[in-house]
Amino acid sequence: MCGINGIFAYNHSASVPSEAELIATRDHMFRRGPDGVGVWWSEDRRIGFGHRRLSIQDLSERANQPMSDGTGRYTIVFNGEIYNYPELRRDLESKGYVFLTTSDTEAILHLYALEGEAMVHRLRGMFAIAIWDREARRLFFARDPYGIKPLYIANDGWTVRFASQVKALLAGGQISREPEPAGVVGFYLWGSVPEPFTCYRDIRQLPAGHTQIVDAAGVHPSKAFYSIARVLAGAPRIHGSPTQMEARIKEAALESVRAHLLSDVEVGVFLSAGIDSGALLGLMRDAGQEKIRAITLGFKEFEGTPEDETPLAREIAKLYQAEHVVRSVDRAEFKHDLPLILEAMDQPSIDGVNTWFVSKAANEAGLKVALSGLGGDELLAGYPSFQDVPQWVKYLSVPAAIPGMGALGRAALGLFKQTGISPKLAGMLTYGGTYPGAYLLRRGLFLPFELKTILDPELLSLGLGRLKPLARVAASMQPAPRAAIGRVCALESTNYMRNQLLRDSDWAGMAHSLEIRTPLVDCILLAQVAPTLRSFKQNFGKQALAKAARTPLPAMITKRPKTGFCTPIASWKTESISDKPLSAASFSRAWAESIMEMP
């Protein structure tokens, strides 16, 4: 795990890249990689790579990056972890490749030499990769199927720059800060910036599950090599008893956890009082890990309330014989850390504060790696959206198709505001009749017609035109899975989880030099579980996960109402946003506006 960056002057008329810019970009990412630092230049200095290392696999200096193969033809910078590295190494060694390290980075290099771009199909893990081919004079980019690891690219028509963080690219001093309307509008619509956009016109995110080539002809269009929707749509329906389905989920989850424990340093776990993190802890024990430290956040404001997760988390830790570390956070610490949070937040987000503090706690405990239960709700239908979105489409598709009905609903917006009813109700007849529209209603922060009172009209018009929010959401669900549960799984995984939860985990974890691993966000696991989805009844998937460990989670956990992994941020920030209490929805909107106004 690390921070990577590079500069490639691909146009023969472009100026030779500046070492000062390369180093400034690299060292802005210090917290991503405090264990080692590296730089590499081609002989003609037309391309340079930078690297900041967080040592997880092969802790020796021999595994430092940038790394070149024995021939000097290929040079790589890589951010992430490849969990099937041992199998890949055995296969490559059988073909005559010689390894000088025990790092997964070297396996990627040899695999690229053997298979070229097609090698991405054999990688299981999270990754952002840049490989320079000296003979072909070609730069190759790749990003993992789910988009767990970021890769930002800026192209001015002469030179391409890339890095693990938007702010690192800006720190190099050569990229315009001109705003990207689609990124700004996207943030107000969703509470996070939808890829491939950022808040800056000249910086783009390489889409998840894509590769891209840069050569003398310039930056070529990116190519998709993986699609979550396609996996879900193509999964065969299997028939079996509930017990057989549970066994399939158990086996797949255990195998994924075992793979994600690959490490030369200790692996801990984030532990709440929920099913996902509790099941991961039990599966870590079943996978053979002897020492396990579980990190739980506690808040004084939550003591004695259902939101206080520490008592039940303590019981889970005791059940699986884990060392339980409880870290208390109060209002004063939040206020102290807020400027640091905003500085570390690479792109604006209405979430991520919880991950900041639990990552801080893990770092204080001396951990460099922690498992997170992120992804369980998306994979196993744990969100209300799995019921709400299909029902809205079912009942609103006909009235929503009647001309003028949407406008009539919006005309009532003023009345809704006066009565305190959610403004989203005004959009039900406009958006509720289709999956993309219903999903916007369920997950959206503001609806498009509301932004007229918030954003500059020209910026809003340009941003909506470039973003095309409903078409973008629809594309994330194509090819459309046959079952409603598969469609919502695709929507949640490729929008909310990718653009917000995974991105927040990256910046908040790496701000504390912590690698966050997500065993429930895994392409092999998805392929194994997808055939069971159409057989799910309400809560079946989460209950099956609760039973996955050899010692199942107790009823006090599985029967507990879902509260989410939250912080009392609303009560901490309300006084600076409003002089009266705010509902959760109103607070999220006010917080979003304040985030954009903060320096």
Predicted confidence (pLDDT) per residue in 460-487, tens digit: 999 999 999 999 999 999 999 999 999 9
Q: How far apart are CA 599 and CA 592, in angstroms?
A: 13
State yes or no: cis peptide before 339, omega within 30 of 0.
no
Q: Locate 500 and state its tokens.
A: 């917000």
Nearest of 318, 324, 317, 311 to residue 362 by alpha carbon: 324
* Angle subtended at Cα 199 by Cα 193 and Cα 205, rounded to the nearest 5 degrees: 65
Q: What is 448-508 written as a DSSP string? A: GGGGGGTS-HHHHHHHHHHH-HHHHHHHTT-SPPSSHHHHHHHHIIIIIIIIIIIHHHHHH
Q: How far apart are the first and last CA of the chain?
A: 29
Contacting residues for 212 by C-beta, under 8 A, at least 6 apart = 140, 141, 142, 153, 206, 219, 220, 221, 222, 223
How many angstroms separate the Cα of 319 from the Cα of each of 324, 362, 560? 11, 21, 17
Residue 539 has a pLDDT of: 85
**Could you tell me if residue 48 is left (phi over 0), alpha (psi between -120 and 50 degrees) or otherwise beta?**
beta
* Residue that has been written with the tokens 């989920």 in this structure: 249
| DSSP secondary structure, 380-424, as one string | TT-STHHHHHHHHHHHHHHHHTSTTHHHHHHHTHHHHHHHT--GG
DSSP class of 581: -
Tens digit of each residue's pLDDT (9 = 90 or more) over 397-427? 877 666 655 565 555 555 555 555 667 877 8
Q: What is the dihedral of CA 245, 251, 256, 262, to 10 degrees?
A: 170
DSSP state of 30: G
Q: Residues 66, 108: contact at Cβ < 8 Å?
A: no
Beta-bridge partner residues of 160? 8, 155
Sheet holding 267-270, edge to edge: 323-329, 293-299, 267-270, 369-371, 515-517
Cα 576 to Cα 430: distance, rounded to the nearest angstrom = 34
Question: Which residues are paired to 242 by β-bridges?
Answer: none
Residue 532's SS3 state is: helix
Handedness of CA 92, 94, 95, 97 (dihedral sign): positive
- Residue spans of the chain under pLDDT 50: none
Model pLDDT, residue 304: 82
Which two three-digit tokens encode residue 589?
Answer: 């909107």
Q: Where are the alpha helices (DSSP H) in 34-140?
A: 85-94, 104-115
Instruction: Please give the domain boundaries of the chain with CATH numbers for all domains.
Output: 2-226 (3.60.20.10), 229-381+487-570 (3.40.50.620)
Strand partners, 218: 215
Per-residue b/e over 498-537, b at no fewer than 16 CB within 10 Å? Answer: bbbbbbbbbbbbbbbbbbbbbbbbbbebbebbbbbbbbbe
Closest CA to 532 of 390, 385, 379: 379
Please list, in sequence order, all residues whose beta carbon lies within 8 angstroms of the beta carbon of residue 204, skipping any fewer than 6 positions away.
152, 153, 154, 155, 196, 197, 198
Render the burial of 123-135: b for 16+ CB within 10 Å, e for the rest: bbbbbbbbbbbee
- What is d(CA 588, CA 584) in angstroms, rounded to the nearest whole number? 6
Contact 53, 30 (CB under 8 A): no
Buried b (16+ CB within 10 A) or exposed e, 322-360: bebbbbebeeeebeebbeebeebbbbbbbbbbbbbbbbb
pLDDT at 412: 55
Render pLDDT for 76-97 as a digit per residue (tens, 0 to 9): 999 999 999 999 999 999 999 9
pLDDT for the residue 413:
55
Q: Which two tokens stand for residue 577?
A: 């946003």
Return the C-alpha torsion angle 129, 378, 363, 318, nearest 10: -140
Burial of 399 (0-12, 13-18, 19+ CB in 10 A): middle
**What b/e sequence results for 145-182 when a residue is b if at least 16 CB atoms lie within 10 Å of its CB, and e otherwise?**
bbbbbbbbbbbeeebbbbbbbbbbbbbbebbeeeebbb
DSSP string, 159-178: -EEEES-HHHHHHTS-S---
Residue 559 has a pLDDT of 87
Kindly report the number of other CB atoms within 10 A of residue 245's CB atom: 21
Rounded distance between C-alpha atoms, residue 560 and residue 275, angstroms: 9
Under 8 Å CB-to-CB from 84, ≥6 apart: which residues?
Answer: 122, 123, 124, 125, 259
Tokens of 361: 């706690």
